[in-house]
Structures are given as C-alpha cells and as structure tokens.
Amino acid sequence: MAENVKKTRTRGTREETEQVILDSTLRLLEKNGILAGLTIRDVVRESQVNQGQVYQYFGDRRGLLREAIRRKVSSDMPDMSVHFRLPFRQRRRRMWRWALDNAPLVQLQALLAVEGETDVPMFPSFDDAVDRVRRDQSDREVDASLDPMLTHLMTTSMYLGYALFRRVMAARSHTALADLDARAEAFFLEVIDRMGPRGGHTDDSAGEHDASAEACAGGNEQ
C-alpha cells in the first residue's frame, strides 16, 4: 500500500522552493540539452512542486529560464574586486578561458537571446567593466583612440562566440579541438595586443603571478 503513495516534496520556505525549482530547471537543461525544449510541466515533475508556484515565483517559462541562468552566472562568478585589478590583457585572457570552461552556461545565455530576451546576464558589472577599460587607456594599456564601451563589447563577443561555435569550427576546418583552441587563443591575444598604444604589445607579465594567485581560476567581467 505504501508503495502506491505518490512521492511529494516536503513543504519549505519560498526561498527553498525557488531554489529547488531553479536547480531542477538547470538539471533538465543539462540532461536533455537546450534543443530538447523545456516546459513548465517538465519542471513541475522534476521538482515535485505545485505548478502554480512556478508561475507565482517566475511568471512564465522565459522568466524561469532567465532567473535560473542569472543565479548560475552569479554562483560561478569570482571576486570582481580582484578581477578588476588585473591588467587588460590578462583579464581578457582569463575571460577567454572562462568561456571555454563554461561553454554550457554560455549556450544557456545564448538561448535567452535567441528567444528575444534582452535582459540576459552576459554582462554583469557592465559599467564597472567599461570604466576599467577607461583606466586601462589612462595606464596606456589600451589605445586612447578606441571606444571603451565597444572595446569591452567586441572583445567579449569574440570569446563568447568562439565558445558557442568552437566544436562546429573544429569539425568544419578538420582541426583537432585542442589544437584549434590553442591557435584561436593565440589569435585572440594578438588582437588584444594590437589594441595597445599604437598597436604595440602590452606587457602584463610583471604582476601576472601575484594576481594569478588571487584571481584563482579566472575572472568574469563579461
């Protein structure tokens, strides 16, 4: 008799219930892939909550996706105060590697953008990041003639775009993925170097080792 009793989740606080729903959403996306689609019914079944709670807390499917991705980005983001102390070239290199290490998260962000969502958490600390580029220009790490906002946006688009399509590029070019990654990173850094004063190479090696210990696995100024 007990075997036929439907399994239900113990009632918790709103915050706990929200987290269960968001965790279930990310788990389904990871398991089934973003192209499989995601419905509120899937999330209700996975999280064992009332369907009304999902709509009450998140509004609709898009709101649910946006919040799940926003929290995932926030949880994976390192200490920004440390990140912004790094030189321009080093910040960009770390972000390149962050994007490759977190390609599934980049794909989720792209999913929101494809659905027409403009409030996508691809650029946390955006204003601070642009201000930091202005300081890079004052420090002669970035050419003063470059638009600081576009410098940030376009270099960001390079590593996010590569993270999205690197496997397709490797297959199309008949290149081993690891080889393509190494060559693409070298190309990206060459572009970054040419953004220095008069297109010269920047030298951030002096503080690189000290900063690396503090910044750990990478920074995110997207």
User: Can you give the pLDDT of all 222 residues of the chain as single tens digits?
Assistant: 444 434 555 567 889 999 999 999 988 887 877 656 788 999 999 999 999 999 999 999 888 988 888 888 777 766 677 889 999 999 999 999 999 998 888 888 887 788 787 777 777 788 999 999 999 999 999 999 999 999 999 999 999 999 999 999 999 999 999 999 999 999 999 999 999 987 655 555 444 444 444 444 444 455
Query: What pLDDT score does 102 carry?
Result: 87
CA distance 158 to 93: 11
For the chain, what is the radius of gyration of the CA atoms? 21
Quick one: CATH architecture of 78-215?
Answer: Orthogonal Bundle (1.10)
Query: What pLDDT score does 158 carry?
Result: 97
Amino acid sitting at position 203: D
The CA–CA distances, whole Å, from 180 to 72, 91, 172 equal 28, 21, 11
* CB-based contact 95:220 (threshold 8 Å): yes
Could you tell me how far CA 93 lies from the centroid of its own chain?
14
What is the residue extent of each domain of the chain? 2-75, 78-215
Which residue's structure tokens are 């691809």?
Answer: 122
Q: Would you list the DSSP string of 195-216?
A: TSGGGPPP---TTHHHHHHHHT
Task: State residue 168 phi and psi, 5-degree precision.
Answer: -65, -45
Amino acid sitting at position 19: Q
Same fold, 2-75 and 78-215: yes
> Which class in CATH covers the domain with range 2-75?
mainly alpha
Query: What pLDDT score does 185 carry?
Result: 98
Query: What pLDDT score does 105 carry?
Result: 83
